[in-house]
Chain A
Amino acid sequence: MNIKRSLRNNGLLELGFVLMIAALYMVFLYVPTEKHTGIVQRIFYFHVPVAWVSFLAFFVTFIFSILYLSKREMKWDAIACASAEAGVIFTTLVLITGPIWGKPVWGIWWTWDARLTTSLVLWLIYVAYLLVRGFATEPARGARFSAVVGIVGFIDVPLVFLTVNLWRTQHPTTIIFEGGLTTPMLVTLLVCIAAFTVLYVLLTIQSANLKSLDTALKRLKSMHTG
């Protein structure tokens, strides 16, 4: 599967570069400092896009896990796994940027509200996905088992969110929907979301391509020596 060619041709890499530069400029130079919380609020422009991407990544893993189990082509598994790896990275970033923002603003590193708990459980499920692949006795089994984990785990995420939400909520209600964001802030946020989404897509395609090549190489080697 030659995704690499499309990577060069369709300009996604260039678009991602431009978006990221724009995002950095907007976050650090363009957008005005927020009145109440000050400079630390700028983490919000990284924290939210990264959180969104981590959920997108898990959704992609879910879809491609289903595809892999029904079609059994390794390319689907490659994308599912690549997405899960990117997802772990982005979820780790969420869990790091969140407390960094939270401590100066709300005085606490952590609280067991719906969003934080769901992010933590999401991280744990991703890690379980990767561990199953690591501990499998053979790659085909690892692919199959982790696909099961990808499906079962994704269904769990809304359940965790709803349950913990019933239990307690301390996370600020989404500012976007309350209209509490001024236009420059909204635009900056959207640009950051776009930048990180493109980054995620690029990382996943690169990684999936590498895995596909690796699988093909292993197959060629076994044919050669066999």
Chain B
Amino acid sequence: MNKSFVKVLTVFRKDILAELRTREIVVSVLVFALLVLVIFSFAFDMGAGMGETVAPGILWVALTFGGVIGFNRIFAMEKENSRLEGLMLCPVDRAVIYWGKLAGSFTFMLAVAVIITPVFLVLFNLPLLLPRLALVIVLTVIGFAAVGTLFSALAINTRARDIMLPILFLPIVVPVIVAAVKATAPVLAGAPWADMLTWLQVIIAFDIIYLVVATLVFEFVIEE
């Protein structure tokens, strides 16, 4: 059990090191998410009162589409230079590869969220210190990463790799997007915990279910 954890950490460390050197994933996702924020703010006429209604949705649209861009890169970087074959030659359980890549994609998405969210809060004139929002974001990003890592590995092996990931990913994460938006709204409005508790439970349930399912099913996606 301990050995598997070390192997997961090794895969994770490899991704972090590569990303620290090139910063390609975090920077591109960050810029894209920021652009989505801006475009959607123009798309919805920001009259008085409209801001509060659409703000949670705009944040999560930005994070979702940014996530799609980011997850594409998670396995695309392995496909280049045949690094995926190298990874598969390692005598490790396929689930270890999944969890290693999952740790990486979770970290990257979280890094993007940590930078994008304050920008979002500033643009919408919302308070900056919102620990409950941090909780919602962390839980939702776990769910995104669980599904995104799995489908990234799948999409990379198809002919239309860039379009296949969003087509697969977006319908599956509908429940967690709905729950995230519904959980974010009370936080931004300063409403009590009770309003968001059910939605947090939905997100947690989604996370657990998909972490388990993806772990079981990943070997079929990545085998050759």
A contact set with B: CB distance below 8 Å: 69, 117, 121, 124-125, 127-128, 131-132, 135-137, 141, 144-145, 147-149, 151-153, 155-156, 159-160, 162-164, 166-167
In the complex, what residues of B have CB within 8 A of residue A148's CB? 150, 154, 217, 220-221
The answer to whether A132 and B178 touch across the interface, beta carbons within 8 angstroms, is no
Contacts of A160 in B (CB 8 A): 174-175
Interface residue range, chain B? 20 to 34
A159: chain B residues within 8 A (beta carbon): 175, 205-206, 209
Contact residues in A for B88 (Cβ distance below 8 Å): none
Question: What are 26 A-B pairs with beta-carbon distances under 8 A?
Answer: A69-B220, A121-B174, A125-B172, A128-B167, A128-B168, A128-B171, A132-B154, A135-B164, A136-B157, A136-B158, A136-B159, A141-B158, A145-B158, A147-B220, A148-B154, A148-B217, A148-B220, A152-B172, A152-B213, A153-B171, A155-B213, A156-B172, A159-B205, A159-B209, A163-B178, A166-B198
Contact A167 B178, beta carbon cutoff 8 Å: yes
Residues 144 to 165 of chain B near chain A (Cβ within 8 Å): 147, 150, 154, 157-160, 164
For A129, give the chain B residue with the smallest CB separation.
B168
Cα–Cα, bound, A117→B178 (Å): 11
Determine the residue in chain B with the shortest Cβ distance to A66: B217
Q: Which residues of A have CB within 8 Å of B220?
A: 69, 144, 147-148
Contact status A151-B217, CB under 8 Å: yes
Q: B95 contacts the other chain (Cβ, under 8 Å)?
A: no
Chain A positions within 8 Å of B150 at CB level: 148, 152
Main DSSP-derived SS at the A contact region: helix
Q: With A and B bound together, what is the CA distance between A136 and B210 in angstroms?
A: 24
Q: Does B182 contact A (CB under 8 A)?
A: yes
B172–A153 contact, CB under 8 A?
yes
Check if B59 is an interface residue, CB within 8 A of chain A: no
Smallest CB separation, B195 vs chain A (Å):
12
The 9 nearest A-B residue pairs measured at CB: A163-B175, A124-B171, A135-B158, A159-B175, A135-B160, A135-B159, A156-B172, A128-B167, A125-B171
A contact residues around B58 at 8 Å (CB): none
Q: Could you tell me the distance between the alpha carbons of A135 and B198 in the complex, rounded to whole angstroms? A: 39
Q: Is B202 an interface residue (CB 8 A)?
A: yes
- For residue B179, CB closer than 8 A to chain A, the reply is yes
Q: How far is the CA of A5 from the CA of B38 in the complex (A)?
A: 62
In the complex, what residues of B have CB within 8 A of residue A117's CB?
A: 174
| Residue picked from B159, B182, B213, B217, most chain A C-beta under 10 Å | B217
Complex CA–CA separation, A152 to B217 (angstroms): 9
**A145 to B199 Cα, complex, angstroms:** 31
Assembled-state Cα–Cα distance A128/B173 (Å):
14
Tell me whether A132 and B206 are in contact in the complex, defined as CB-CB below 8 angstroms, given that A144-B220, A148-B220, A152-B217 are known contacts: no
Interface centre among A69, A125, A141, A152 (most CB of B within 10 A): A152
- What CA separation (Å) do A136 and B157 show in the bound complex? 7
* Given A132-B164, A149-B154, 10 additional A-B pairs, CB 8 A: A117-B174, A121-B171, A121-B174, A125-B172, A128-B168, A131-B167, A132-B158, A147-B220, A152-B217, A163-B174
What's the Cα separation between A141 and B202 when bound, in Å? Answer: 33
B157 contacts A141, C-beta separation under 8 Å: yes
Query: How far is A155 from B147 in the complex, measured between Cα atoms in Å?
Result: 12
* Known A145-B157, A147-B220, A152-B150; contact A132-B175, beta-carbon cutoff 8 A: no
